[in-house]
Structure 1
């Protein structure tokens, strides 16, 4: 089971060029894959409640909401029904809900159909995969942005109204750009990748963390082919270009500072966690830069080892092997 309070998506690199080595990976043909995503608009049911008692009945009917989605609600569980009913009486909130419906658009087309296509790709590579049920909620930020498990996904749509919404989630400015509807599905697929992403529990190095994230982003790229790369990791296009063009300096800093095999948690956090920028390297280097570098390494590994499938990649626990066989040393892609 995977639970997520804030979406951790950073950015992908610019367009990758391909080397001359033949690519023996099969193209995923999902046309015959039988998979359906069941979705339910629980927010509509909540907004139809006319009393606190009806809200409580609603919560009783959907216990997963209280157990998971409202796990960090601003009130204790016994007072949740009253709190939600008071929100429902707020006219500004109802106006926000109407606006949100317009900004999100048709949920089936924008979210469910896109999830279905991605899930079909997962099932192509992992036949035992079953699609989780999807539930939509709007609760005035009383719940979480996303809850993800093997069998259930709850999407708090109020978080994803984008820059034109009346209200935005209470997060840092540098995190706000990815709280838009376009980021919902890529973020879900990234976290589902954790189910398949094998990582050595004994390797506590920064390199292991980097490769772990990199494999996750590569997974999304395979399960959502054609998705704009900025949506997969969330850097702006400008940051993608700057990072790609300055990667030799970034890599040189990692090597000179002996960061790859760093195990100190506080030291690793400076390069793995989100920040406005990576102070230690420079203000033009975005935060979580180690994740970007990790994906760069993984991508080059896949280019150099075209016989390795995405399933086989996800099984590789040895981060040092991926680095070594990638041949990465801060260089940009070769121009064919």
Structure 2
């Protein structure tokens, strides 16, 4: 009986691996060539008298109405130059990252054939942690000052933000920016709709970043993933008991969806919890849906919240 079970397990594993390899082999065959423009170097290695030519070459980085003095001050400011030097130490070249971007866009083109391969621009922007990587159709803009490592002295941010200022977060951030072009905004403002909206984004990372951990995909520490797994059924029961799933109170986003140091159940567990647990639960709902339904990735991303939820057969795991 044991030998029979082991044989079945081996066959199942072989079939699963073969199926995965077929997808990955097809992905590998897709031609993608990424070109990188180090605007961060072009800007900080220019002199004030070069500003006019810079603005001509990169007009999209110089909005109208901003006085030239602003750009010249940034070029010469000692703090900005110290940050630039730190970026150059971390990223003297961008070859490894360009290879990772090529791999990502091979996956994107496999699932979304009309995806345009962008030109990559590296910049040192304004420490805007909400826009670390921006995919803008034919351009991909990456703010290198926000991928230096969480312990860099330049960061005056709380820990829950700093933990995502690692190089490994670059590709998940690119997928997040891409996803907003593919996932329709929720038709209503209920907590469940927002949970599933972000659940779709995170499932997209499952597909496009197969070698990344769950913690890297959502921007958690490994122990925060463990906390969610151990408390999944408790969180779900809380949402149901408090009638929150179909509640459209905007405060619920700050409690369970948006960036925060912890989630707000208004219970003793709050300080132990990571922020954005609503996103994590939404992710598990979408995973359950894709496991229990034969639906393409593209069709799932367009699906209505109610239909997806009802067909997901989601049942939280007990601890």
TM-score (norm 2): 0.84
Runs of 4+ in 1 over 6 A off after TM superposition: 22-26
**1:58 and 2:54 equivalent?**
yes
**Distance across 1 between alignment mates of 2:87 and 2:185:** 39
Distance 1:114 1:297 in 2: 29
Write out aligned runs for 1:140-219 (5 A): 141=127, 145-168=132-155, 170-199=156-185, 201=187, 203-219=188-204
Q: 2:5 maps to which residue?
A: none
Distance 1:104 1:44, change over 3 A: closer
Query: What do residues 174-231 of structure 1 show as CA deviations (whole Å, max 9, x unaligned)?
Result: 1111012211111111220222224553x33211111111111111111111112211
Q: Is the alpha carbon distance of 1:328 and 1:232 closer, same or farther for their aligned partners in structure 2, counting shifts above 3 Å?
A: same
After TM superposition, give the deviation of residue 139 of structure 1 in Å. 4.9
> 1:227 and 2:224 equivalent?
no
| 1:142 CA drift (Å) | 8.8
Look up the match of 2:274.
286
More helix by share: 2
Aligned to 2:4: none
Deviation at 1:269, TM superposition (A): 3.2
CA distance in 1, matches of 2:149, 2:165: 6
In structure 2, do the counterparts of structure 1 residues 91 and 242 end up closer, same or farther at CA, with 3 Å as the change threshold?
same
Larger Rg: 2
Q: Is the 8 A contact 2:55 2:62 kept in 1?
A: yes
- Verify the 8 A CA contact 2:193 2:305 in the aligned structure 1: yes
Whether 2:94 is the aligned partner of 1:98: answer no
Distance 1:271 1:200, change over 3 A: closer
For 1:297, the equivalent position in structure 2 comes to: 285
Unmatched 5+ stretches in structure 1: 1-19, 68-75
2:44 corresponds to which of 31, 44, 47: 47
Does the residue aligned with 2:37 lie in a helix, a strand or coil?
strand
Structure 1 residue 55: Cα displacement: 2.2
| Structure 2 residues without counterparts, runs of 5 or longer | 1-11
Q: Say which is worse superposed, 83-92 or 121-130, in terms of deviation.
A: 83-92
1:300-321 per-position Cα deviation (integer Å, ceiling 9, x unaligned): 222222x333223223x22222
CA deviation string 1:118-165 (max 9, x = no partner): 111111112111112210112564996333312212112112211343
What is the CA distance between 1:91 and its match in structure 2?
A: 4.3
Q: Assess if the C-alpha contact under 8 Å between 2:285 and 2:309 holds in 1.
A: yes
Mapped to 2, the partners of 1:174 and 1:65 lie a distance apart of 29
Partner SS, residue 137 of structure 2: coil
Note the 1:71-82 alignment, pairs <5 A.
Answer: 77-79=65-67, 81-82=68-69
In structure 2, how many angstroms separate the alpha carbons of the residues matched to 1:139 and 1:318?
A: 36
Measure, in 1, the Cα distance between the counterparts of 2:181 and 2:149: 29
The CA deviation at 1:89 is: 2.6
